[in-house]
Amino acid sequence: MNQNAPVCIIGAGASGITVGKTLKRAGIGFDIVDSAQDFGGNWLPSGPSSKMYESTHLISSRTNTQFSDLPMDSSWPAYPRHSLFWQYLRQVAAHHDLGRHAHFGLGVEHMEAAPGAWDGADGWRLRLSDGSSRLYRDVVVCNGLLRKPRRIAYPGEFTGQQLHSGDYKTATIFRGKRVLVIGGGNSGCDIAVDAGQNASAAFHSTRRGYHYLPKFIDSRPTQDWLMSEAKRFDTPEAYWAHVKATIRLAGYDGTAYGLPQPDHDIDQAHPIMNSLLLYHVGHGDVLPKPDVARFDGGRVHFSDGSSEEIDIVVHATGFEVSLPFMDKSIVDWTRGLSGIFLHMVPPRHDNLLFFGYLNAPSGYGNVANTTARFIDGYFKARERQSRGWRVLKELKLRWNELDLGQDRYMRTERHAHEFDLWKYLATVNFLASKLSAA
């Protein structure tokens, strides 16, 4: 490891790669540590934190997911398979020579403040899984939102097979089985489709109605279409009315398939990006069910009074932030990380950043390309103690006054890290320009 590296990046997934290439260009020394054996994080097929299953593809389009400085191969499909995206992340890491900074098979077990220990400045002491201890001036935490599986505790006991979506890998386990998938997020809908194509009977339990989007509209990836259509309208209301009318015409109104009416508008929650779920519901391959009421041996009872014999239950009920190496007195991560400035900058620490702890209603690249510029400006402005740095220090103490459009979203755990894309990007771009100024 570089004995003089001032920055430690925890995590070698997409976020860690983004921060690494940004610091590389800025000429700032850094180490990347990750308990896996390669770059990729969640996308590394055999990694300890991988959530990939055989049918996983991007739900954001290639053009909205790629880095602006190194686009994906134009011959790739609009929604690359997970193995292709992992290949792309490795290409980005190799292009920026991040391998010489990376230390794989090395986890962080404990992190504590080290006041005045970095050449008179405050730093952080990390205890690593090989028993060693390292001192850094700065730490950038990039180990991601998808860390600790979340399960809902239902009354009763289920005696069949249960697994969380984070442990699901292949649809072959469904063959000849009666399968229940619980959860209406994108993974839950993907897995329900897998079950509908392989199980003897497939049921999909959700607590509410959702808005569904196909992956293509007007011969274009839907996100590309959404972004181009927005320019045609003067108000958000007119734009979203147009989007809903188009989706209905395309056959993606869930109520037409007997699904519940959503209890929220389309811009108040992350829509489901899936071209196949409603198709299989309409063909009877996937049978919708309301919320689970209780388990009873091999039978599952639902809130509408119905029940089904089930062999396998898949809990696609989301994840929680997990930073067990960090004491809650530093940042109370058990409450999530939405309560820090821009989801990146803790109010009380100037030498600690978080990167990747938000859900973008767009592709990863749209956010990464902008926030990387902010990271670059952050370190340089702090070094100069510029006016922009002083403004930022004041703003981050008043993070709750900043309107990022978060209040428009539903108050659910799934949307705790959601924000309005355009407001967020405009804010980050504005601050990045201030930090970059002399």
For 7-148+319-436, CATH gives 3.50.50.60
Strand arrangement, sheet containing 178-182: 161-164, 312-315, 178-182, 201-205, 286-289
Residue showing tokens 């000849």? 176
pLDDT at 416: 52
pLDDT at 214: 96
In this structure, is the dihedral angle defined by the CA atoms of residues 332, 335, 337 and 339, taken in order, positive or negative?
A: negative
- The C-alpha torsion from 377 through 381 and 383 to 386, rounded to 10°, is 170
Neighbours of 286 (CB within 10 A): 28
Asked if the domains at 7-148+319-436 and 151-315 fall in one CATH topology, the answer is yes
pLDDT at 415: 47
CA 192 – CA 282 distance, rounded (Å): 13
Q: 151-315: what fold?
A: FAD/NAD(P)-binding domain (3.50.50)
* Range list of β-strands (E), 210-311: 212-213, 216-217, 220-221, 272-273, 286-289, 292-296, 299-302, 307-309
Structure tokens at 160: 């069949």
Contact 413, 406 (CB under 8 A): no
3-state secondary structure at position 53: coil
Extents of the domains making up the chain: 7-148+319-436, 151-315
- Residue 14's φ and ψ, nearest 5 degrees, are -60, -40
pLDDT at 417: 55
Angle between helices 82-95 and 14-26 (to 10 degrees): 20
Contact 125, 53 (CB under 8 A): no
Half-sphere exposure of 262 (CA within 13 A, CB side): 18
CA 21 – CA 69 distance, rounded (Å): 10
CA 286 – CA 239 distance, rounded (Å): 32
Per residue of the chain (438 residues), give pLDDT as tens: 666 789 999 999 999 999 999 999 999 999 999 999 999 999 998 878 888 999 999 999 999 999 988 999 999 999 999 999 999 999 999 999 999 999 999 999 999 999 999 988 899 999 999 999 999 999 999 998 777 889 999 999 999 999 999 999 999 999 999 999 999 999 999 999 999 999 999 999 999 999 999 999 999 999 999 989 999 999 989 999 999 999 999 999 999 999 999 998 888 777 899 999 999 999 999 999 999 999 999 999 999 999 999 999 999 999 888 899 999 999 988 776 767 888 899 988 999 999 988 776 667 887 888 888 899 999 999 999 999 999 899 888 876 656 665 555 545 555 455 567 777 888 888 888 888 876
- The C-alpha torsion from 89 through 95 and 100 to 105, rounded to 10°, is 10
pLDDT at 46: 83
Tell me the sheet residues that pair with 212: 272
CA 140 – CA 101 distance, rounded (Å): 14
pLDDT at 156: 97
Residue type, 360: A
Q: Could you please report the per-residue DSSP string of 185-237?
A: SHHHHHHHHHHHHHBSEEEEE-SSB--EE-SEETTEEHHHHHHHHHTT-SSHH
